[in-house]
A and B are shown apart, each in its own frame.
Chain A
Amino acid sequence: MSKIIVVTSGKGGVGKTTTSAAIATGLALRGFKTVVIDFDVGLRNLDLIMGCERRVVYDFVNVINKEASLNQALIKDKRTPGLFILPASQTRDKDALSMEGVQTVLNDLAKDFEYIICDSPAGIEQGAQMALYFADEAIVVTNPEVSSVRDSDRILGILQSKSLKSEQGGSVKEHLLLTRYNPERVAAAEMLSVADVEDILAVPLLGVIPESEAVLKASNQGAPVILDQDSEAGQAYLDAVSRLLGEEAEHRFLEVQKVGFLKRLLGGKK
C-alpha cells in the first residue's frame, strides 16, 4: 500500500521544500521506496534542494500531457537508494496541472512506491488544493509566528473540507511540524512556544525543527539537511521521520542550549 503525504502550509517560505526533501530522504534512508513530487508549477525549486537540477529533462506537466513517460521524467537520487524526484514544470501556465492528470500520475506512482511526498506551492488556491487533494496524510509546516499559524489553520480547514478523503467522509491524517524554532527567543517570550502553537492549532506534533545554519548550508550544496546528521536540524528531521513511522522519539532542541564558555569564545555553530 502506497501512502500519499502532502507537505503544505498556506504561507510561503516557511520550509515546505526543505521539509519535503528531508522527509523524503529520511523515508528512503529507512528503506522505503519513495518519490518526492514538486507541485510548485512555474517555481521549480525542489530540484535545487535535492541537488539534481542539472539532470532535469522532463517534468510533471510533460508526464500529464503524455509528452514523456513517468520513467523518463523520474530522476533517481544519486545519494540515497530508493529515492526518486519528479520535478515541477517551469511553464508559466498555472493551470497546467489537471485533477485527472494528477490522479493518473499518482495512481501510476502508487504501483511502484511506498511513499509519495507532495511538495505543495504556497497559498490556498488551486495549486495548493491540487497538491493536497489526494493526500492520505498532511504535514502542516508552521513557523512560530502569527501569520504562519493563521495560514496553517486555513489550510487545515481546506484539508478538512476539500480533500478527497473528506469528501468520502473520512479525514486526512494531520501532523504539525514547527520549523525555524528559536528556543532563545521563546525563552525571552518573544516567540510563540511549541505549546502555544499546539494549543491554537490542536494538531498532533510531528516535530520541531530549530532555526539552523545547517539548512542554508545544505541548500547551498544541494544535499537535504537530514543528511547532515551532525546538525540539530538534521537530527530533528530524523526524529520526525521516526514519528511519522509510528515510533516514539523524545522531542529535542526545545530548550536553550547551555553553551560552554570556550565554545562561545570559539563561536559555537548549530
Chain B
Amino acid sequence: MSIFNYFLKKEKKASASVAKERLQIIVAHERNKRQQPDYLPLMQQEIIDVIRKYVNIENDQVSVQLDNNDDCSVLELNITLPE
C-alpha cells in the first residue's frame, strides 16, 4: 500500500463523521427556525430597513433569534456595525 493510498483511506474514514457533524448543525438550525413565529422574517427585514436609514449595513450583519424559556421568550438582536 503506497503512502498515497494510506491518506486516501484516511480521508474516506472520516466521511461518515463529516456527514454527521454537518447534519447536526443544519438540523439544529432548521429546528430553531421552525419554532420561530411567522412574523419574524418580516420583522427582521423591517429592523434592517430602519438601521439602514442611519448606517449602511448588509442583511447578514443582523441576526434575530427568539429563544423560548419556560416562563418567557427572549428576542436576541445582534447587529454588527461596520468600522
Q: Which residues of A line the B interface, CB within 8 A?
A: 145-146, 149-150, 153-154, 157, 161, 186, 188-193, 196, 199-201
Contacts and interface: CB of A to CB of B under 8 A. Distances in A.
Given A150-B23, A199-B20, A200-B23, A189 B12 contact: yes
Contacts of B26: 150
A201 B34 CA distance: 15
A200 B20 contact: yes
Contact of B12 (A150, A161, A188, A199): A188
B78 to A, nearest CB: 25
A192 B20 contact: yes
B27 A153 contact: yes
A9 B26 CA distance: 18
Interface of B: 12-17, 19-20, 22-24, 26-27, 30-31, 34
Given A153-B27, A200-B27, A190 B12 contact: yes
B15 A190 contact: yes
A161 B13 contact: no
18 contacts: A150-B23, A150-B26, A153-B30, A157-B30, A161-B34, A186-B16, A189-B15, A189-B16, A189-B17, A190-B12, A190-B15, A191-B16, A192-B16, A193-B16, A196-B20, A199-B20, A200-B23, A201-B27
